């Protein structure tokens, strides 16, 4: 009988030993442990990433369970990061989970971003997304951004460790608060968060292993109702207040 | 000139149209393309815009034959 538990990450992916070692020694920061964050953490733990730092101040609610695959009814009321840690340690006992069940101050966020090899934005609001992007630009840490609502999803990767890369603020330059469309209020197609989260995790593995062509300077859009994908090419905004001083022509 | 205007995801659902052909004798910015294609509905904030699948801002002037695409902002996690 096929038993997935007996397969090491290296065997499942038939990675060269050095690639498996790279993943096993990697530290990944995941902001938000809702629908996207659960899918991302699940996939990266099984892929053999050594250390996952999970940040979310929220607690598990019954309404989360149809799309947040690491949580279950026994964890309602518990911090999401602890619920996720519990599930992940059952799935991948060797992965090191560092749960942070609170809002990070700007200084704490900068420290976590600096310590990470790659950052995954799985949050649910512009304010967090802008703050995280600014921290990644400042610390020059690659950022993989995912979002989903109703029947639509978006993924983009930002090579913030290189000069001339656009940042999340180049994509969404308007600092105004968004209209209140949240997964709780508007709903999201449950499998869609798995699709977008798995894409983010795939991007993270590529970035960590330095393989393939990440979604750098590209925004991938998925419309579940029509089953159509679109790619929009992004450029660095020379007037971007967040990243304009990081280009090759600017003193850094 | 003729412009092809496309609306994606929830914008398509809200506006109840996926594609519009615009004919114009005047030069148009992307914001003006939205207004003309959407019967004067103001351009919402955070909408993403692309001309021929390259990201642009609302002040970009479109050319004859361009495809202008509008995507809704998505922040849900
Ligand atoms: Zn920028």
Secondary structure (H, E, C), chain B: CEEEEEECHHHHHHHCCCEEEEECCCCCEHHHHHHHHCCCCCCCCCCEEEECCEEECCCCECCCCCEEEEECCCCCC
Average pLDDT over residues B3-30: 94
- C-alpha distances (whole Å) from B36 to each of B28, B40, B51, B62, B73 are 10, 6, 16, 13, 21
ipTM of the complex: 0.92
User: Does any domain span residue B77?
Assistant: no
CB A160 within 8 A of CB A132: no
Is residue B22 included in any domain, yes or no? yes
A81-102 pLDDT, tens per residue?
999 999 999 999 999 999 999 9
Beta strands B19-23; B2-7: pairing state = antiparallel
Inside any domain, residue B43: yes
| Enclosing domain of residue B43 | 2-71
The residue of chain B with its CA nearest to that of A32 is B77
In-domain check, residue B76 = no
Task: Inspect the interface and report whether the beta carbons of A123 and B77 lie closer than 8 Å.
Answer: yes
* Residue A1 confidence class, pLDDT cut points 50, 70, 90: very low
Domain count, chain B: 1
A52 pairs with which residues across the strands?
A: A28, A97
Would residue B34 count as lying in a domain? yes
Nearest to A218 by CA among A202, A201, A230: A230
Q: Which of residues 33-62 of B touch A (CB under 8 A)?
A: 44-46, 48, 50, 53-55, 57
pLDDT value at residue A84: 98
- Residue B19 contacts A, CB cutoff 8 Å: no
Residue B21 belongs to domain with CATH number: 3.10.20.30
Q: What is the pLDDT of residues A105-136, one digit of tens each?
A: 999 999 999 999 999 999 999 999 999 999 99
Q: Does the pLDDT of residue A184 top 90, yes or no?
A: no
Does B7 reside within a domain?
yes
How many CB atoms neighbour CB A161 within 10 A? Answer: 15
User: How does pLDDT run across B19-72, given as a tens digit for each residue?
Assistant: 999 999 999 999 999 999 999 888 988 999 999 999 999 999 999 999 999 999
Nearest by CB to residue B53, choosing from A37, A173, A233, is A233
């Amino acid at each position: 009988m096929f038993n997935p538990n007996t397969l090491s990450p290296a065997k499942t992916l038939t990675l060269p030993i050095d690639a498996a070692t790279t993943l096993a020694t990697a530290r990944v920061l995941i902001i938000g442990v809702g629908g996207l964050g659960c899918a991302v953490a699940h996939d990266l733990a099984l892929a053999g990433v050594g250390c996952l730092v999970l940040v979310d101040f929220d607690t598990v609610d019954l309404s989360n369970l149809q799309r947040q695959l690491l949580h279950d009814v026994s964890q309602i009321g518990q911090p999401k990061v602890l619920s996720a840690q519990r599930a992940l340690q059952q799935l991948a006992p060797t992965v090191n989970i560092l749960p942070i069940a609170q809002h990070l101050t700007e200084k704490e966020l900068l420290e976590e971003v600096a310590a990470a090899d790659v950052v995954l934005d799985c949050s649910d609001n512009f304010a967090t997304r802008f703050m995280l992007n600014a921290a990644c630009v400042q610390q020059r840490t690659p950022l993989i951004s995912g979002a989903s609502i109703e029947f639509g999803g978006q993924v983009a990767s930002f090579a913030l460790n290189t000069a001339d890369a656009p940042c999340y603020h180049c994509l969404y330059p308007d600092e105004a608060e968004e209209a209140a469309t949240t997964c709780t209020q508007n709903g999201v197609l449950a499998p869609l968060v798995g699709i977008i989260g798995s894409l983010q995790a795939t991007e993270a593995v590529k970035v960590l292993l330095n393989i393939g062509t990440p979604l750098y300077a590209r925004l991938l859009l998925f419309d579940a109702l029509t089953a159509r994908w679109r790619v929009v090419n992004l450029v660095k905004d020379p007037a971007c207040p967040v990243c304009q001083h990081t280009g090759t022509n600017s003193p850094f | 000139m003729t412009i092809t205007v496309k609306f994606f995801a929830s914008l398509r659902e809200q506006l109840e149209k996926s594609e519009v052909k615009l004919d114009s004798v005047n030069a148009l910015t992307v914001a003006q393309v939205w207004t003309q294609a959407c019967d004067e509905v103001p351009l919402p904030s955070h909408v993403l815009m692309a001309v021929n699948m390259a990201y642009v801002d609302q002040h970009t002037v479109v050319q004859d034959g361009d495809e202008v695409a509008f995507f809704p902002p998505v922040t849900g996690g």
